[in-house]
Structure 1
Amino acid sequence: MGKNKKRKVPVDLDQELELSFTGFTNSGEGVGRVEGFAVFVPYTIPGDRGRVRIKEVKKNFARGELVDLLEEGPGRIEPVCPVYGYCGGCQLQHVDYKRQLELKTQLVKDAITRIGGFPADLVREIKGAAKIWNYRNRGQFPLAHNGSNQIGFFKAGSHQLVPIENCFLQHEKINQLLEVARSYLSRLKGNNLKHLVFKVSPETEKTMAVFVTQNENFPEGEEFALFLREQVPDLASIVQNINPKPYGPVLGRKSRVIWGEESLEDKMNDLEFSVSAESFTQVNPEQTKILYKEALEAAGLTGKETVIDAYCGIGTITLLLARQAKMVYGIEFIPEAIEDARENAEKNRIGNVDFVVGKVEEVLPRMAAKEIRTEVIVVDPPRKGCEPEVLQAMAEMGPERIVYVSCNPATLARDLKLLAGQGYEPKYVQPVDMFPQTHHVETVVLMSKIEKQA
């Protein structure tokens, strides 16, 4: 038999062609096809037809840019932000909110069926947001030192700064801080200041400003801090964070307080939490309440269970679980987050918790080897999903229920399929829209152990 001929790619670089869009990717791009060959184009949605210029060609797909929109698909609207399409923060401002929810639900269904092999009817109706603008309680703004010290966001897929005056997704208090800070930047010399990070406590409306620098030598920080204090009455904390790494996470592991408190005080379901400069918390507080409510209901606690909360962060879910469980173990690899978690447990007088510092893929197998019994395991991993060692350890521990909180439908479906091979079955999949105007969607899944037949 002769060798199979390689399939010829039907598009060329810089070629212009008309496409009708019929699909949608989990990165927020519309999908058109040329002789069955997929072309991904940002800022398009199913139902659109447009003229496209091919910007990248790969073996199995191509990417293009929209040159001219010829027909509008259902739900297309005019975006409100003047830098939409340049700034990389939003992907769906050109879509009305009802359609956004439909697209996100379909993303979850596609992943669950195509990757996981599960039926689509497992996916429940998405929990949409009441507030679709100004919902973010944290903003991270890079700086460009080009003579005028501009501040903004990076263009999608690059480190090219797009200057902004405000952000339609950020809390009003953060936009106030951004405006005041921008008016001062021309006074700064050198390029030590890399990012400004602003946080707000929705409960108290107090704010924090974090100066992220390449090194500790930032004498201008004191004067900059004084300026902010004079202009922003609700400012409660100003912190310098040192991060010498040119790429990767915005925040480094070392901080010092320039002025004010070490952390902001916040609440979640009557529990009090301290949020430090380095703490990771969900950025949409109202939708976070819905997300955690779903996770708690899926856990189905009666007060008798031992629970593990993997990737626990500052212990928000851990402490909520602890109020309904016998004992909860929280696992997190960032030491500063565990310090916050322990402080938060003490603050709320919750003693039936134990926080462990370490990578989940190392700690959980050790717990499994010690034959620690647990009825419920809750996991909330990063976008890459759970490591194989984590899935294997969970299966070995054999909890009655696994509650999987995910921010990536593709890795979620992959992990659910692996857990299904270890004796678990998904009972339902609940999407929650934490990030309106973006392609991101959170999901809570209840996995139950399959009872062995006698």
Structure 2
Amino acid sequence: MRMGEIFTAPVERIVSGGAGIVRYRGKSVFINLTAPGDLVTGRIIEENKDWAWAELLEISEPSPLRKTPFCPLYGSCGGCSLQHLSYEAQLAEKSRMLRDALVRLGSFSSFPEPAIHPSAPEGYRNRMQFHRIKPIPPSRRSRSVPSPAGSRRPFPLGFKARKSGELIPVADCPVADPGIRRVLAEGTLPIAPDRDRFTVYARGNTLVYEGGPSRGKVTLLDRELLMDAGVFFQSNGTALELLIPELLEAAGGADPSLPMADIYCGVGTFAVFLGEYFSRIDLVEENRQALSLARENMPGGNCRFFPLKADQWVKTRGTGAKSPGKGPYGFIIVDPPRQGLSGTLRQWLIHEGPPVLAYVSCDPATLARDSRELCRGGYGLEKLSFHDFYPQTAHIETLAVFKK
């Protein structure tokens, strides 16, 4: 195999990140915008010892799993990666990716079959990050970066392009919440002129954004939460409303006379629903702005707040701590970033963790690694569910419930 070599091969499956994979000359070759069952022609553009990347030249025989993308910017915009698959195929591929990670990276021979919770394929995304950009002169514009009709504002909003660092002016985004789509269509968002990149959140009657009114209240199920556009908040409110009852069900198997902890608690979204069922709730979050919002969302007297990284919090507790306020927990929820749990936190959970542990994951690879270590340390993986927070992308959100 050599750089620039052209080949024809069938696509086997979709892998993490959304690329299709083919086998050619004994190597795995990744190629974007392909579907399982496609017969494709590609050109090698990057080669390593065990794998390579190729650019798509032609689809000789299209897969029956294909569909026509609904966004005219698909393929040039870097936001979506699976619009060329039917939604049913997306769910099947992502569910398979989760199972493959548990087998290949987690060394599981058996595990609970993941329950699949779909989302609306379009109009679902409440939180999005935009770039404020000047129109690109035609002489400098890449062929892969079109200028959409209707984008006549002097400073349109945009997304990053798929293949370069260029920015694409965006007049509409079909996966966005209707409130965000109105902002794009009307061009009426009065962003501070020094803001080149900012986040917008819209749901129901709430519209907040960085560089403007950033705080607002969002209703989830029967609760109202205070949030800020500059602080992380889940981007699919409807999918979140399906996840919360599962967390409540998991917590129902714990001893309510013992306290619970919410590690990586953010603005306290899960604690708002879970806290009242336990004698005390400890909220751990390194982002002080998020924790300040959590204080406002959790006004009850049975809460303690720790502005610490998870590892720092573990160290404050020590090992086998029996002093008041440092006794055992009945239930813990962890919602880490893509890096998953640190070794320090995993070991603490194995030795000092609760009988019931809920793990909300945004990366199957780190979930598989952490699940393997937790189960080797005495936990059992009792339940798995895949919540499709991000249709049209390869992102996978999972709830795993462990019991000792």
> Given the two structures, how large is their TM-score scaled by the length of structure 2?
0.89
- Amino acid across the alignment from 1:207: L
Quick one: which amino acid aligns to residue 164 of structure 1?
Answer: V
Shift of 1:111: 0.5
Q: Report how far residue 207 of structure 1 moved.
A: 1.1
* Greater displacement, 419-428 / 364-373: 364-373
Given that 1:123 and 1:431 are in contact with CA atoms closer than 8 Å, whether structure 2 keeps it comes out as no
1:119 to 95, 98, 109: 109
Comparing 329-338 with 54-63, which one deviates more in the overlay? Answer: 54-63
Structure 2: distance between partners of 1:291 and 1:434: 10
d(CA) in 1 for partners of 2:224, 2:176: 23
Cross-structure match for 1:316: 269
CA separation of 1:200 and 1:126: change in aligned 2, threshold 3 A:
same
**What residue in structure 2 maps to residue 193 of structure 1?**
195
Q: Distance in 2 between matches of 1:184 and 1:427?
A: 49
The alpha carbon displacement at 1:366 in A equals: 2.0
CA drift of 1:430 comes to: 1.2
Cα 1:111–1:207, aligned 2, differ >3 Å: closer, same or farther?
A: same
Report the equivalent of 2:180.
Answer: 174
Aligned to 1:52: 42
Amino acid corresponding to residue 279 of structure 1 in structure 2: V
The equivalent of 2:401 in structure 1 is: 446
Q: Which moved more, 1:96-105 or 1:287-296?
A: 287-296
Instruction: Label 1:109 to 1:115 Cα distance change in 2 as closer, same or farther (>3 A).
Output: same
What is the CA–CA distance in structure 2 between the aligned matches of 1:140 and 1:432, rounded to whole Å? 22
Per-residue Cα deviation, 1:80-124 (whole angstroms, up to 9, x for no partner): 111101111101111111111100110110001111111355232
CA distance in 2 between partners of 1:387 and 1:398 (Å): 14
Q: What TM-score does the superposition give when structure 1 sets the normalisation length?
A: 0.80
**How far did 1:178 drift?**
2.2
Match for residue 165 of structure 2 among 159, 175, 187: 159
- Summarize the Cα distance change of 1:271–1:302 in structure 2 as closer, same or farther, 3 Å threshold: farther
SS at match of 2:289: helix
Contact 1:301 1:324 in 2 (8 A): no
Q: Whole-Å Cα distance in 2 between the matches of residues 275 and 338 of structure 1?
A: 11
Corresponding residue for residue 147 of structure 2: none
- Counterpart in the other structure of 1:144: 133
Of structures 1 and 2, the one with the larger relative CO (CA 8 A, separation 6+) is 2
Q: 1:354 aligns with which of 288, 301, 304?
A: 304
| 2:96 alignment partner, one of 97, 106, 112 | 106
Determine the C-alpha separation between the residues in 2 that align with 1:183 and 1:311.
31
Moved more, 420-429 or 148-157: 148-157
CA contact (8 A) 2:254 2:330 kept: no
In 2: Cα distance, 1:351 partner to 1:42 partner: 52
Q: Residue type matched to 1:402 in 2? A: L
Q: Aligned pair in 2 of structure 1 residues 304, 140: CA closer, same or farther (>3 Å)?
A: same
What is the rounded CA distance, in whole Å, between the counterparts of 1:368 and 1:376 in structure 2? Answer: 18
Are the counterparts in 2 of residues 302 and 324 from structure 1 also a CA contact under 8 Å? no
Q: Give the CA deviation at 1:377.
A: 1.6
The alignment yields a C-alpha RMSD, in angstroms, of 2.0
Partner amino acid for 2:298? A
Determine if the alignment matches structure 1 residue 325 to structure 2 residue 278: yes
In the alignment, does 2:282 pair up with 1:282? no
Report the CA distance between 1:351 and its aligned residue: 2.6
Q: Distance in 1 between matches of 2:369 and 2:109?
A: 14
Provide structure 1 residue ranges, at least 5 long, that are not aligned to the other structure. Answer: 1-10, 212-237, 240-261, 450-454
What secondary structure, in the 3-state scheme, does the structure 1 residue paired with 2:298 have?
helix
Partners of 2:89 and 2:368 in 1: CA distance: 23
How many residues are matched? 381
Q: Using the alignment, how far apart are the partners of 1:329 and 1:73 within structure 2?
A: 50
Match for residue 393 of structure 1 among 315, 338, 348: 348
Give the letter for the 1:433 counterpart. D
- Measured against aligned partners, the alpha-carbon deviations of 1:178-229 in whole angstroms (never above 9, x if no partner) come to 23337989xx9xx833124221133xx1312323xxxxxxxxxxxxxxxxxx
Question: In 2, Cα distance between the equivalents of 1:277 and 1:307?
Answer: 28
Question: Matched residue of 2:297: which SS?
Answer: helix
Pair 1:61–1:418, CA change in 2 (3 A)? same
Matched, 1:207 2:207: yes
The CA deviation at 1:138 is: 1.4
Q: What residue is the counterpart of 2:23 in the other structure?
A: 33
Asked whether the equivalents of residues 200 and 229 of structure 2 are also in contact (C-alpha less than 8 Å), the reply is: no
Q: Which runs of 5+ in 2 are unaligned?
A: 138-153
Asked if 1:133 is matched to 2:88, the reply is: no
In structure 2, distance between residues paired with 1:274 and 1:161: 32
Superimposed CA distance per residue, residues 390-449 of structure 1 (whole angstroms, 9 cap, x where no aligned partner): 111112213111111101001100011111221112112211111111111111111111
Is it true that 1:404 corresponds to 2:359 in the alignment?
yes
Aligned structure 1 segments of 4 or more residues deviating by more than 4 angstroms: 182-185
Match of 2:293 in 1: 340
Task: Tell me the distance in 1 between the aligned counterparts of 2:269 and 2:187.
Answer: 31
| 1:90 and 2:40 correspond | no
The alignment-based identity, stated in percent, is: 31
Partners of 2:81 and 2:392 within 8 A in 1? yes
